[in-house]
Amino acid sequence: MVEKKSNPIKAILYVSVWVIIWGTLGSFIDYPLYKNKIYLEGSIYQYLTFIITAIVSIISAKFFYKKFEL
């Protein structure tokens, strides 16, 4: 059986891309909620928006990691 070698540069790039995706997705969701005064800046709801999008991003990243050979 051949052992799979991990490439740390590819792994770092993969995580970096998912952090960018998480921030972008969270901001796209946050912006209209904030502009329509559904919640205020720095409120618990804004934190929850980014926490929930982080959880979704982590689950997605783990799912797609298995599809790519990194």
Instruction: Tell me how far the alpha carbon of residue 1 is from its chain's centroid.
Output: 34
Residue 1 clears pLDDT 70, i.e. is over it:
no
Domain ranges in the chain are 18-67
Q: How confident is the model over 47-67, as pLDDT tens digits? A: 999 999 999 999 999 998 888
What is d(CA 32, CA 49) in angstroms, rounded to the nearest whole number?
12
Q: d(Cα 1, Cα 22) in Å, to the nearest integer?
A: 36
The model's pTM is: 0.78
Calculate helix-pair angle for 8-35, 44-67, nearest 10 degrees: 150
